[in-house]
Structure 1
Amino acid sequence: MSTEAQDQREALGARLRVFRKGAGYTSGRAFAAAAGWHESKVSRIEHGRQKPSEEDLRVWCEATGQQDQVADLIAVLRHINELWLEWKRQLKDGATSRQQKAIPVYAKTKLFRIWHPTLVWGALQTADYAADTFKQVVNFYDIPDDIESARDKRLERQKYLYEGDRAFHVILGEQALYSNFGGRNVMLEQLEWLLHVMRLPRLSLGFVPRAAPLWIWPGNSFSMFDSRLVLVETFSAELTVSKPSEIETYIKAFGLLKRSAVYGDSAKELIRGAIRYYDRY
């Protein structure tokens, strides 16, 4: 869980503690008895170690005479849930809806800062490469097969590479040039496409060579939208970061990754090296 989500969970717990004490329950044990809960549950909720359910909040407010606060507390809880979205929940109806959700975010962003250590960023993918990544998503999360529509929605984002006054700062690990999605022909097409899009004036595309000195460990991939939102992907969930102090951490990390990256002719030579590899594949 992000520190932002944890901070908000702890703040919610502290608010509930105030309600408990204000209602005359001087100990968590007494309140647990009134609510019909195990006493440790009260302590875990108040200290942010356990997220209450919406029903827990209703019971808490009923027991403390704070019924008028239920709607507000549930809104806070739902916001905390949104900070950490499990992939199984996001993708339960397939991958297309998640791709659709990204389009408005892209539309209002002027500055993109993208880091991915192991694969090509979505807006720079070819159709076949994108389809193969979604094939893996469908199989891994056991979700409905909507590969074609999810691919098309992802490729819709490419229009923003050509529209408006946006700037795209993208850094990939050299491994992204070799991670094999779809086989030799798909990879060769993808690599040639990278050479093509590098000519776009609004795109700065760099690579961290596999032997480059590192100023920060590679970590997870992340996408930064202006200085207001960062999305971080893990195998289990997508983390949403919007707290300014946490966003500053990602800005710093991006700057350190950039120190290790190569651009221009050096970047093109890395791509051509991968093309030579797949030519022999």
Structure 2
Amino acid sequence: MTSVVPWQQRLSTGTESIQGEVVRWYQETRNSKAYVPTMIWGTIQTEAYATVILRRVVDFLGIPDDVPAGVAKRMERQRVLYEGEHHYDVVLGEQALYTNVGGREVMVGQMERLLRDIDLPSLSLGILPATAEVDVVPMPGFNMYDGVRVHYELVSTAVDVTDPGELALHDKAFAALSNAACHGEAARGLISKALAFWNGD
């Protein structure tokens, strides 16, 4: 089964309510996977980075402006990283380290956050190099929750997939992406390289 809900409908009262919904998803999920090719995964965004992202959402969609409240909820969601009951396998595209969100200062802070969080027991963070060969066709980013739901965020809608056959294909795709990604010290090296870029080194 696939459900599609337009963003203007889901965000009709602003960003806080949907962020609260996402907090509940993460609190209820024990094992999550995320592939995010061009931006930083929301659960490891800095407050400054998240503020820029939600400001762009509000301005682009023309929804009620409650950015501070939405950001506060996104920061609340990050508690799951420290509770010890959850585990997240995350693959970021290398481009995510270079997509300019808020300028140099914001990006430096975000790279420093990634380097600080990469060793969290709850997080397995991989970076997919721009030149990596992957055994799957290019695709948009997605989140998987306990293997029972896949969530996409598209330009105009949010899409949720729950069909078992489709879930199995997403699991297979994530495995291919993760296998091609750099982990551990290799991932740290790519993040450090991006930090040097944003520092102007």
- Work out whether the TM-score is over 0.5: yes
Aligned counterparts of 2:140 and 2:84: Cα–Cα separation in 1: 29
- The aligned counterpart of 2:88 is 168
SS in 1 for 2:137: coil
1:258 aligns with 2:178: yes
- Given the alignment, which residue of 142, 145, 153 partners 1:222? 142
CA contact (8 A) 1:169 1:203 kept: yes
- Given the alignment, which residue of 104, 108, 114 partners 1:184? 104
5 Å matches for 1:108-127?
Answer: 108-127=28-47
Q: Once the two structures are superposed, what CA deviation does each residue of 1:190-232 show, in whole Å capped at 9, x if it has no partner?
A: 0000000011112100010001112113311111110111101
1:243 aligns with 2:160: no
Aligned counterparts of 1:108 and 1:180: Cα–Cα separation in 2: 32
- Given the alignment, which residue of 170, 193, 199 partners 2:119? 199
Show structure 1 runs of 4+ deviating over 3 A. none
Q: Once the two structures are superposed, what CA deviation does each residue of 1:52-75 show, in whole Å capped at 9, x if it has no partner?
A: xxxxxxxxxxxxxxxxxxxxxxxx
* RMSD of Structure 2 on Structure 1 (CA): 1.1
- The aligned counterpart of 1:273 is 193
Deviation at 1:164, TM superposition (A): 3.5
Deviation at 1:108, TM superposition (A): 1.3
Aligned counterparts of 1:219 and 1:139: Cα–Cα separation in 2: 26
Deviation at 1:166, TM superposition (A): 1.3
- Larger fraction in helix: 1
SS in 1 for 2:90: strand
SS in 1 for 2:83: coil
Aligned counterparts of 1:164 and 1:228: Cα–Cα separation in 2: 21
Deviation at 1:106, TM superposition (A): 1.0
Structure 1 residue ranges without an equivalent (≥5): 6-82
Q: Once the two structures are superposed, what CA deviation does each residue of 1:140-193 show, in whole Å capped at 9, x if it has no partner?
A: 101111111101101111110011321110000000000111110110000000
- The aligned counterpart of 1:43 is none
Aligned counterparts of 2:54 and 2:85: Cα–Cα separation in 1: 30
CA contact (8 A) 1:87 1:236 kept: yes
- The aligned counterpart of 2:13 is 93
- The aligned counterpart of 1:151 is 71
AA of the residue aligned to 1:187: M
TM, length-normalised to structure 2: 0.97
Aligned counterparts of 1:247 and 1:153: Cα–Cα separation in 2: 28
1:107 aligns with 2:27: yes
Aligned counterparts of 1:160 and 1:218: Cα–Cα separation in 2: 30
SS in 2 for 1:181: coil
CA contact (8 A) 1:232 1:239 kept: yes
Alignment coverage as a number of residue pairs: 201
Structure showing greater relative contact order (alpha-carbon pairs closer than 8 Å, 6 or more residues apart): 2
Aligned counterparts of 2:187 and 2:84: Cα–Cα separation in 1: 26
Deviation at 1:260, TM superposition (A): 1.1
- Larger fraction in strand: 2
Aligned counterparts of 2:192 and 2:92: Cα–Cα separation in 1: 15
AA of the residue aligned to 2:154: T
Deviation at 1:110, TM superposition (A): 0.7
